[in-house]
């Protein structure tokens, strides 16, 4: 049994891609960049010392699940959401929804998805995908990172839905319950942009937004003191590239997908200045990508002396300066809207 009508599509990011697919299936045509932008997906946060992270790290998007919340708030689309303590209950509910032909998204640990090549599998508890059906002991999966529909063993799906650890999914599944008949896209876009500008410029925490990028730039030269040895340090420095480019970020830490959103927003709002800002953000994204490659090569070549880290720090400071100017202009562009 499989929900035939569902259109599988690759996406830049698993969460915005999954939400977009479900909303499209429910009858509302909307692009992934619009979902990402309206839900204020873009962000930056640097965490130098935190209980849940053994080494400093950073994020480039809002927290997992927040996109769904913001889409409900701004577009009026509603979702049914279910979490479970018991694996059997979680499996039973999923099967029941599939029997009713309801495509259902799941939060999973990426590591247990046996269709992913083994060298790419890492424990990330916040991967999202849509489940479309069940054939014998396999589920049919629409995973937006892959070009085709995929089969996943039911035991693997169970393991991935009920994985332990930080942000464990607890069998979480969701689907669309309501699509409003009218939507004020202009209002939703403006609110989405204003929230991103606030988060990047005015959020009163020194480790978030542009201030967070500056803290990252300042603190990265201290990373050798925190690493066990050169191997560990090189691994952590190379992770900068993974966080910016490899984990479904839409490219350059979500800056490219947000730039695409601004292009669409310019047409909907009739504000051509957003097109210029989109081009500017693409250039800022190119800078993040240069930085990403610089870090990856330095890590790969174990070239991590103080001079190299200082250079990397300078590249990060440049991103902070560029984003401060950019988000100030973006905020001004929608100020009186």
CB of 152 to other proteins, least distance (A): 18
Please identify, using beta-carbon distances, which residue of 35 and 252 lies nearer to other proteins: 252
CB of 247 to other proteins, least distance (A): 8
Q: Does residue 3 contact residue 98 with C-beta atoms inside 8 Å?
A: yes
Cβ-in-10-Å burial (0-12, 13-18, 19+) of 148 comes to: exposed
CB of 270 to other proteins, least distance (A): 25
The stretch among 87-95, 101-109, 241-249, 272-280 that binds other proteins (CB under 8 A) is: 241-249
Please identify, using beta-carbon distances, which residue of 195 and 255 lies nearer to other proteins: 255
For residue 249, how many C-alpha atoms fall within 13 Å in the half-sphere facing its CB? Answer: 25
Could you give the CA distance from residue 172 to residue 128 in angstroms, rounded to a whole number? 10
Please identify, using beta-carbon distances, which residue of 188 and 244 lies nearer to other proteins: 244
Residues 6 or more apart whose Cβ sits within 8 Å of residue 136? none
Contacts (CB under 8 A) with other proteins, residues 48-77: none
Q: Does residue 149 contact residue 137 with C-beta atoms inside 8 Å?
A: no
Count of residues interacting with other proteins (CB under 8 A): 29
Could you give the CA distance from residue 129 to residue 105 in angstroms, rounded to a whole number? 5
Contacts (CB under 8 A) with other proteins, residues 126-145: 144-145
By CB under 8 A, name the one of 42, 282, 316, 330 that touches other proteins: 282
Q: How far is CA 138 from the centre of its chain?
A: 27
Alpha-carbon dihedral sign for residues 188, 74, 29, 8: positive
**Stretch 93-132: interaction string toward other proteins, x if CB under 8 A:** ------------------------x-x-------------
Please identify, using beta-carbon distances, which residue of 222 and 246 lies nearer to other proteins: 246
CA distances in angstroms from 67 to 138, 192, 320, 327, listed in the order given: 29, 10, 24, 20
Could you give the CA distance from residue 83 to residue 169 in angstroms, rounded to a whole number? 8
Contacts (CB under 8 A) with other proteins, residues 161-220: none
Interface with other proteins (CB under 8 A): 10-12, 117, 119, 144-145, 147, 238, 241, 245-246, 248-252, 256-257, 260, 282, 285, 289-290, 292-293, 296-297, 300
């Amino acid at each position: 049994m499989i929900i035939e009508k569902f259109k599988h599509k690759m996406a830049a990011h698993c969460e915005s891609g999954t939400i977009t697919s479900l909303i499209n299936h429910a009858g509302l045509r909307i692009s992934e960049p619009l979902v990402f932008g309206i839900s204020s997906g873009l962000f930056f946060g640097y965490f130098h010392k935190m209980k849940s992270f053994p080494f400093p790290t950073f994020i480039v998007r809002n927290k997992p699940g927040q996109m769904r919340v913001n889409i409900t708030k701004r577009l009026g689309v509603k979702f049914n959401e279910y979490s479970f303590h018991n694996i059997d209950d979680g499996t039973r509910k999923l099967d029941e929804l599939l029997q009713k032909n309801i495509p259902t998204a799941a939060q999973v640990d990426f590591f247990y998805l046996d269709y992913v090549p083994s060298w790419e599998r890492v424990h990330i508890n916040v991967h999202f995908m849509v489940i479309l059906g069940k054939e014998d002991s396999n589920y049919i999966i629409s995973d937006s990172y892959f070009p085709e529909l995929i089969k996943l063993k039911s035991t693997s799906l169970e393991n991935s839905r009920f994985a332990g650890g930080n942000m464990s999914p607890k069998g979480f599944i969701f689907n669309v319950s309501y699509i409003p008949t009218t939507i004020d896209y202009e209002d939703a876009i403006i609110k989405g942009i204003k929230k991103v500008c606030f988060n990047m410029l005015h959020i009163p925490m020194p480790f978030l937004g542009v201030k967070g990028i500056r803290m990252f730039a300042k603190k990265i030269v201290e990373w050798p003191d925190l690493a066990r040895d050169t191997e560990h340090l090189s691994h952590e420095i190379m992770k900068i590239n993974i966080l910016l480019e490899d984990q479904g970020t839409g490219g350059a830490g979500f800056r490219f997908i947000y730039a695409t959103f601004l292009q669409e927003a310019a047409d909907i709002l009739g504000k051509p200045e957003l097109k210029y800002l989109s081009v500017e953000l693409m250039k800022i994204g190119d800078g993040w990508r240069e930085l990403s490659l610089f870090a990856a090569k330095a890590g790969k070549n174990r070239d991590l002396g103080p001079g190299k880290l200082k250079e990397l720090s300078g590249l990060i400071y440049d991103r902070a300066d560029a984003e401060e100017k950019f988000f100030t202009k973006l905020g001004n562009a929608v100020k009186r809207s």
